[in-house]
Amino acid sequence: WFGLVWFGLVWGLRRDGKVCESVCFFFRVGESVCQTAVCEVVGLETQGARNPNRQSLNLDHQTLNPHPQTPTPLFSQVNGIFIPAGILQPPFYSREQAVARNYGSVGAICGHEMTHGFDDVGREYDGDGNRNGWWPPAVVSAFQERAECISDLFSSYSLFGAQVNGPLVLGEAIADSGGLKYAWESFVKAEAPDPIQKKLFFIAMGQTWCEKQTAKGATAEVLTDQHPPNKFRVIGTLSQFPPFAETFQCPADTQMNPPKRCHLW
């Protein structure tokens, strides 16, 4: 696993397949390591495009690499997460704001991208990025059973009369759930937060998905977008996470503290 934070024009592919120069930080290691990592990643992507045993990969510059100003991290089947520098600013992240906000926002987002490696599609790729269905049947069956719970949950939601398609948004819903758990566990372990800090963590997570949208635009996204509507990325994810109900003392058997919850990762 690796992570890249983009601060400038990242790599592109020339017609001969060679890598253009890269300007980036590879977390906290040197520039030479960063360039080596980029070369290896592009090499794997190129091999994947030529290998019929792999899923087809689009090597278009716009698709492969987000612009640094784009606040949208992504996961790649070469087992890496890509974090554009544009998201490392308020309200997602800042050295000046409460650390609880950083964990609840960009922390959960990074955890989301990591979890894509183990969602309904990512689970089929092994540690080398090969799509070979490496899990034993019993594990696959258990995964599908737990994933179905999440799919059914999101299928129960509707927005402006449009029903959410649980199977369509399953991968993103799984990633939201895993990302929240990873960020929370890291936050609690590193910070030993008090009750106020715990509340701020969840508030930051919810505010991450605040938006203003027309009914027409929202219903169009429900029909086509693989992400759940932002409202349900918050409600659906937090309602399945016991620490949220404990932190805000939600009454038992209510929407945000249901008697039965979905649990995958």
Contacts of residue 62, Cβ cutoff 8 Å, sequence gap at least 6:
none
16, 60, 113, 221: the active-site residue: 113
176 in catalytic set: yes
Catalytic pick among 45, 119, 120, 176: 176
Q: How remote is the C-alpha of 169 from its chain's centroid? A: 12
Judge whether 113 counts as a catalytic residue. Answer: yes
Give catalytic residues, as residue numbers. Answer: 113, 176
